[in-house]
Each structure stands twice: as structure tokens, then as C-alpha cells.
Chains A and B, each alone.
Chain A
Amino acid sequence: MNNLLALIPALPLAGFLILSLTGRHLPKSIIAGIGAGSVSAAALITIFIGMQFLQSPPTGNAYTQTLWQWMQTENFSAGIDLRMDALTLVFVFIITFVGALIHIYSTAFMRHDRDYARFFASMNLFVCSMLLLVMADNLVLMYLGWEGVGLCSFLLIGFWYETPANVAAANKAFYITRIGDTAMAIGLFLLFRELGTLNIPEIMTQAPAHFQPGASNVTWIALLLLAGGMGKSAQLPLQTWLPDAMAGPSPVSALIHAATMVTAGVYLIARMHVVFQLSPVAMAATAAIGAITLFVAGCSAMAQTDIKRILAYSTISQIGYMFLALGVGAWSAGIFHFFTHAFFKALLFLAAGAVIESLHHEHNIFRMGGLKDRMPVVFWTFLAGAAALAALPLISAGFYSKDQILWYAWSAQNGNPMLWLVAIAGALITAFYTTRLMIVVFWGDMKTHIGERPGKAMTIPLMILAVLSIVAGFIEWPHNLVHLSLFSDLVQRYLPETLLQEGHPPEIIFQLVAAAVTLLGVYAGYVLYYKNTSILEQWKASPAMLSLRNFFYKGWGFDDLYDTVFVRPFYFLTRINKSDVFDLLNKGIATTSQRLNEWFSFSQNGSLRWYVVGVLIGIIFVLGLQIWG
């Protein structure tokens, strides 16, 4: 069993190596077979290991496999060691299973692309890196995976590199996540200085004894790790790269920028939960960042017109919910939302990709419309995903996970009514913009002619994901309805149990309020965009509403803010330092050697007597040393 563990990341790695070395000469069918096959095989192995894990839990609740020693110094060692516990199992399952579906979809989606092999090589490398990230036994190996997924994200955002805007988006994603990565690296250094180890199980056991709860050193470590998570998971204030990252192909958006990589921050916090629990400040900061992000991103999503940017902002917003859950101490709820979100957001991106491709690469939702009857498969699957995103009560997976978070936002140990209020407002906004998206895209008049319809390889993954978007929530029911909590039982083998405050209101009230708010949001969208569009026309006429809409459209002006605060001063500095001061040093070395060469080449004049004089002066000097030395 333990030996199978290494196969999971090794298969995509092998796929990457084969495709990157020989992909140029292979026919597309074989490339697709290798690319999708390696990830699918990894998914099958994962399911097999998962069954074993559930049936007969191993000792210590984790499978481990030591491959080899990576680096070893006097008091530090890091190995290529893999570890599979409950938390890892959830992530590995999502990465390989959803990843396999997305790869199968991509075989059809990318079929006309020139760089077919490069696409699948990058995707396989991504899956391998992401698996290393979640399966790593120590934080150094995890950091390797962490940087690997960042690299693959960069490569795939800029996949169509002929367009300068795509390259700019890739650079932006790389730079901004780098800020978080640097913070995380510093956090790891601090952690090593304090504990002398970066092995995760050792940290889990040593940290409570070593740190005083609430001490400044552990707070700094937790905050720096949080900053790393914020960069990767596109949380405020490092969220601006994700909407631009939609420049990549749709399957990339589905796999990297919705289902897996952007939730690496969630994984990091859950994995390091012991450190975070020791620091109330970091917990509060996590919850606050999640709450603010989900609201800000939700508002931005309402005003977007590009179908993928709407979904990108909704991704930021949903990850905000996960951060909120982790921050209030509802560990399993946060991971459960990740679980359901991976299904429905991957589904939405893939369905959006199918729509975009059928409509000749049209991204603007207001030039779509009327697709309900013409693309029924896409419509019904998109509807399932949208229902889960809006968290329609009882019939969607999103309801079960989001309802938990809303309840815990008030009643968990670190929760408070303010957080709940922001979260419920976010739920209203989510329902509203999801309804707007559905109505504008699928109802009304057809504005763009449909080209090629999606084939079976694209629709079957959509249908599987649609089914999962509905049924994935049924494994974890609210406590007051049905006593079924398979998911939290599983993850609580690693994560601590969610503690509740004293004297919280009964859960049923929250569920009713959440359901009512969701339905209210759906109704508002229905009224504004379908039944009574004249209200919207009136709003468009008023300048106040229009400027608010523009403000939301620009994502609360964060790009302009950063432009003013960071980019312009930097340009100013570069302008005043046009004749680079530091270059003078380098140029000085070159000029000095050139001058010396000119001077000394005068001495090499070919005259024998001149040379003899040189020797003579040397002898006089040496003898002079003898005399006076």
C-alpha cells in the first residue's frame, strides 16, 4: 500500500517527461492518451488507496513512504518523503479525479491547438507539483511543490503567448504570488529557527510545547504563512492576479485557477492548524481577510461582462468563504467547501469554455443569450453548477458546505455576528450574480451564431461533474436534519473538531435565513434581468449607479491603487536613475581593464633591449629588498 503512494505523483511526472522530450514528434491521439491517461491512472490509484484508507485506517492515520534523502546537514534534513493522511486524501482525490476529468475534456477542447504536447506537458507537470505540495511530509518539499504549481500557472496563463496581454497576465500572476511566496519562505525560516525542524508531524507535536499561546513569535510565523496562502489563493490584498489569469485556456482556469492551485492557501492553513491555533491574532486575521475578500470579490463579480472574469471573481469570493471558515475554527467546514467548490467551479469553467468555443471565442455574456434550447447539455450542467454556486437549498452541494460556514461564522469559537453578516451579504450577492449570469447567457435572444458543438469528450466530464455538484453535499448533512457526517469524520482524523460558543441561537434559524437570502438573491436577479429590465435601464441613466458599476467592474480599483502606490513611484525612480548609478561600477571595471591594457600594450613593443631593461629593473628591485628589507 505504501509503495503505491509514490506512483500518484510519479505518473504525471512521467507523462510530463515523455511529452516534453518527445511530444513534438508524436501524433495528437498519443499525446492525448499519455496526458490524460497518466492523470486518470493516478486517479484510479488514489481511489484504490482511499478505499483501503477508509476501510482499515493505518496506524497513525497516515500512510507514509520515504523515497530518498534530499538534503542533509548537521542539524537539518529534508527527504523526499510522502505522507497520506485524511486531509491529503481529500486534496489528492480532488486533484487527480477532477484533474483527470479536465484532462479528458482538454483532449477535445485543445484539439485544434498547435502546441498540443506543450499544453499536456505543462498540465501534467502541474498535477505532479500539486500532488507533491499536498503529499509532502516536510515543508521544504511542500515549498518545492508550491513553487512548481506557481511555475505551471505562469506557463499556462501565458500559454497563448503570441498575444502580449496574455504574457502580461502571466507575469502579473507570477509577480504577485511571488510576494506571498517570499513571505511564506520567511515564515518557514522563522519556524525552523524556533523549532529546528520542518517535518510536519514533528511540528505538530513540538509546537504546542514550544510556543506560548499568543506569543509574538508564533503570531509572526502564522501571519507570514497566511500571507503565503493569501498570495496563492488570491485573497485581499493580493487578489488582483486571478481575474487576469483567465487569459489562459478554459481547462487551465478550471483546474488551476478554480479547483486546485488557488486552494493551496487553504491547504497550508489547514495543514499548519496547530500553529494557527496558538495565535488568536492570526486566526482573527484569517477570518477577517476571508470575510472582506468574499464581499469585495462578490461585488466585483456583479459588474463583470466577461463570463470567465465573473467566475474568477466568484472563485476569489468562494475561497474567501473557506478562509473565513478556517479563521473561525471551523476546519472541516472549510475543507468541505473546498471539496464541493472544486466540483461545481470546475464544472462552471468547463461549461463556460464549451460555450465560449461554440460561440467563436466570444467572452462577453451580453453577446451570448438564448442558448437554453440550442445547447441543452451545456445548459443543464451549467445550471447544476450555478445552483451549487448560488447554494440553492437542499438540492445543491454548495448549500450544504456554505450553510455550515454561515452557521459557524456566528457560532464557532472565534465567530461573531459581524462575520456572519458579511458572509450572508456575500451569499445574497452570489445568488444574484449567478442568476444574472444564467439568465443573460441562456435565456433571451440568440446574439451570436453557434459554430461547432461540443463533442462527447467534452460533455461527459461535464455531466459527471454536474452529478457530483448535486450529490457531493449529501455526505455531510446539517446536524439538526440528518445525522450523517461522513466528511467531517474523515478529515477530523487530522484536523481538530469545531468548537462551538456557549449560548448560540439554534441552527435552524440560520438555515432558514440563508435559504431565504439565497432565494431573495435569485429573485432579485430574475426581476432585474428577465421580468422587469426597465429598472436596469433607469439605473444605467443615473450617474451615481453608473460610477458604482464602473467601480465594481474594475474590481474596486485595486489595480489602479497598486499602480499609483507601487508602479508609478518605481517608474519615477527608474526615470531619475536613468544613467544607472550601479552600472557605473560595472562599467568602471571594464573601462579600467581596457585602459590598463592600452597602457601595458605600450610596454610590449617588440624591442629586445626594452625587455632586458625590464628584467634589470626587476633584479635591482629584488636585490634592493635584500639590502633594505
Chain B
Amino acid sequence: MPFNPQAVLIVAAILFVLGLVGVLTRKNIIFILVSVEIMLNAAGLAFVAAGARWGQPDGQVMFLFILAMAASEVSVGLALVMQTHRQHKTLDVQELRELRDKTEEYSSI
């Protein structure tokens, strides 16, 4: 059967960029997590396509590792989301800026 790897990779790229747009435009942490999942999935798709192109199982093995990583990332990430919601009463990432540079505040002391 004929098969065009470029088309698959372009689909993977489109899915990846859509995930990226989601990360960039949404402020809600839940949506950001969802978008990260989309990006990971797109990367897995690219791996599988490459494996199919060369007839090797390695692409699928890599997809399995990505899957495992996504699972643990999501579990930890959701725990953090719950904790954030509990302490800050918000899910807006723009509100969570404790790690910014505070030079002005220190110099004013």
C-alpha cells in the first residue's frame, strides 16, 4: 500500500501547533494542561509515523514512553492544580507570579 510520510508529519505538526496555541492563549491551568497533552500526542504521532516509514518498532516504543510520561505528568499536574485552586482560589496563570524578579521591591527597602 502506498503511504506518504510527509502528510502524516504535517498532520502531527498541525496538531502540535494547535496545542501550542492553546498553551499560549488560554489562561486557565486546566486548558494549558490539556494543550500540553495535545502537543505530547502530536509528538507521539510523529514517532509512530517515522517508525512506520522505516518499518521499525522503535517509533511505537517511543510512543509508549511518551504515554507513560504524559500519564505521570498529568497526575502530578492535576494535583498541583487542585492545590493551587485551594490556596489561591484561582486557576489564572497570570495570577501565579511568585517567581518573578523582585529587584524593585528589594531596592526600595
Interface positions of A (Cβ within 8 A of B): 597-598, 601, 604-609, 612-613, 616
Q: Are B103 and A601 in contact (CB under 8 A)?
A: yes
Q: Are A604 and B100 in contact (CB under 8 A)?
A: yes
- Asked if B76 CB lies within 8 Å of chain A CBs, one says no
Complex contacts, B1 vs chain A, CB 8 Å: none
Q: Are B93 and A608 in contact (CB under 8 A)?
A: yes
Complex contacts, A597 vs chain B, CB 8 Å: 103
Partner of A606, one of B23, B27, B98, B103: B98
Size range of the chain B interface in the assembly: 10 to 19
Complex contacts, B32 vs chain A, CB 8 Å: 608
Interface residues of B in 63-109 (CB under 8 A from A): 93-94, 96-101, 103
- CA distance in complex: A606, B96 (Å): 7
Partner of A604, one of B93, B94, B101: B101
Q: A609-B27, A616-B20 are in contact. List 8 more A-B contacts (CB 8 A).
A: A598-B103, A601-B101, A601-B103, A606-B96, A606-B97, A607-B94, A609-B93, A616-B24
Complex contacts, B20 vs chain A, CB 8 Å: 612, 616
Q: Are A605 and B97 in contact (CB under 8 A)?
A: yes
- CA distance in complex: A609, B26 (Å): 9
Complex contacts, B101 vs chain A, CB 8 Å: 601, 604-606
Complex contacts, A605 vs chain B, CB 8 Å: 97, 100-101
Complex contacts, A601 vs chain B, CB 8 Å: 101, 103
Q: List 5 A-B contacts (CB under 8 A).
A: A597-B103, A608-B32, A608-B96, A609-B23, A609-B24
Complex contacts, A612 vs chain B, CB 8 Å: 20, 23-24
Complex contacts, A598 vs chain B, CB 8 Å: 103
Whole-angstrom distance between the Cβ of A601 and the nearest chain B Cβ:
4
Query: What is the total of A-B residue contacts with beta carbons within 8 Å?
Result: 33
The residue in chain A whose Cβ has the minimal distance to the Cβ of B97 is: A606
B41-64 contact mask (Cβ, 8 Å, vs A): 1 or 0:
000000000000000000000000
Whole-angstrom distance between the Cβ of B9 and the nearest chain A Cβ:
14
Given A597-B103, A601-B103, CB of A613 within 8 Å of CB of B97? no
The residue in chain B whose Cβ has the minimal distance to the Cβ of A619 is: B20
Complex contacts, B27 vs chain A, CB 8 Å: 609
Complex contacts, A604 vs chain B, CB 8 Å: 100-101
The residue in chain B whose Cβ has the minimal distance to the Cβ of A601 is: B101
Complex contacts, A613 vs chain B, CB 8 Å: 24
Whole-angstrom distance between the Cβ of B33 and the nearest chain A Cβ:
12
Q: Are B93 and A607 in contact (CB under 8 A)?
A: yes
- CA distance in complex: A604, B103 (Å): 10
Q: Are A606 and B100 in contact (CB under 8 A)?
A: yes
Complex contacts, B23 vs chain A, CB 8 Å: 609, 612
Complex contacts, B103 vs chain A, CB 8 Å: 597-598, 601
Complex contacts, B93 vs chain A, CB 8 Å: 607-609
Whole-angstrom distance between the Cβ of B59 and the nearest chain A Cβ:
22
Whole-angstrom distance between the Cβ of B108 and the nearest chain A Cβ:
14
- CA distance in complex: A338, B12 (Å): 98
Whole-angstrom distance between the Cβ of A324 and the nearest chain B Cβ:
70
Whole-angstrom distance between the Cβ of A616 and the nearest chain B Cβ:
7
- CA distance in complex: A597, B27 (Å): 28
Complex contacts, A607 vs chain B, CB 8 Å: 93-94, 97, 100
Whole-angstrom distance between the Cβ of B12 and the nearest chain A Cβ:
15
Whole-angstrom distance between the Cβ of A597 and the nearest chain B Cβ:
7
Complex contacts, B97 vs chain A, CB 8 Å: 605-607
- CA distance in complex: A598, B101 (Å): 10
- CA distance in complex: A605, B93 (Å): 12
Most chain B CB atoms below 10 A, which of A605, A608, A613: A608
- CA distance in complex: A554, B93 (Å): 83
The residue in chain A whose Cβ has the minimal distance to the Cβ of B94 is: A607
- CA distance in complex: A573, B37 (Å): 71
Whole-angstrom distance between the Cβ of A622 and the nearest chain B Cβ:
15
- CA distance in complex: A612, B23 (Å): 8
- CA distance in complex: A283, B49 (Å): 95
- CA distance in complex: A601, B104 (Å): 10
Whole-angstrom distance between the Cβ of B73 and the nearest chain A Cβ:
15
Partner of B99, one of A606, A609, A616: A606
- CA distance in complex: A613, B100 (Å): 16
Complex contacts, A606 vs chain B, CB 8 Å: 96-101
The residue in chain A whose Cβ has the minimal distance to the Cβ of B103 is: A601
Whole-angstrom distance between the Cβ of A72 and the nearest chain B Cβ:
53
Whole-angstrom distance between the Cβ of A503 and the nearest chain B Cβ:
90
Complex contacts, A609 vs chain B, CB 8 Å: 23-24, 27, 93-94
Whole-angstrom distance between the Cβ of B10 and the nearest chain A Cβ:
15
- CA distance in complex: A613, B23 (Å): 10
The residue in chain B whose Cβ has the minimal distance to the Cβ of A603 is: B101
Whole-angstrom distance between the Cβ of B103 and the nearest chain A Cβ:
5
Whole-angstrom distance between the Cβ of A85 and the nearest chain B Cβ:
70
Whole-angstrom distance between the Cβ of B99 and the nearest chain A Cβ:
5
Complex contacts, B24 vs chain A, CB 8 Å: 609, 612-613, 616
Whole-angstrom distance between the Cβ of A477 and the nearest chain B Cβ:
85
- CA distance in complex: A601, B107 (Å): 13
- CA distance in complex: A604, B99 (Å): 8
B1-18 contact mask (Cβ, 8 Å, vs A): 1 or 0:
000000000000000000
Whole-angstrom distance between the Cβ of A615 and the nearest chain B Cβ:
10
**4 smallest beta-carbon distances between A and B, as pairs:** A606-B100, A606-B97, A604-B101, A601-B101
Complex contacts, A616 vs chain B, CB 8 Å: 20, 24
The residue in chain A whose Cβ has the minimal distance to the Cβ of B23 is: A612
- CA distance in complex: A609, B27 (Å): 8
Whole-angstrom distance between the Cβ of B27 and the nearest chain A Cβ:
8
Whole-angstrom distance between the Cβ of A625 and the nearest chain B Cβ:
18
- CA distance in complex: A607, B97 (Å): 6
- CA distance in complex: A28, B97 (Å): 69
Whole-angstrom distance between the Cβ of B29 and the nearest chain A Cβ:
9
Complex contacts, B96 vs chain A, CB 8 Å: 606, 608
Most chain B CB atoms below 10 A, which of A597, A598, A609, A612: A609
Complex contacts, B99 vs chain A, CB 8 Å: 606
Whole-angstrom distance between the Cβ of B90 and the nearest chain A Cβ:
14
Whole-angstrom distance between the Cβ of A248 and the nearest chain B Cβ:
51
- CA distance in complex: A605, B99 (Å): 8
- CA distance in complex: A597, B24 (Å): 26
- CA distance in complex: A444, B24 (Å): 106
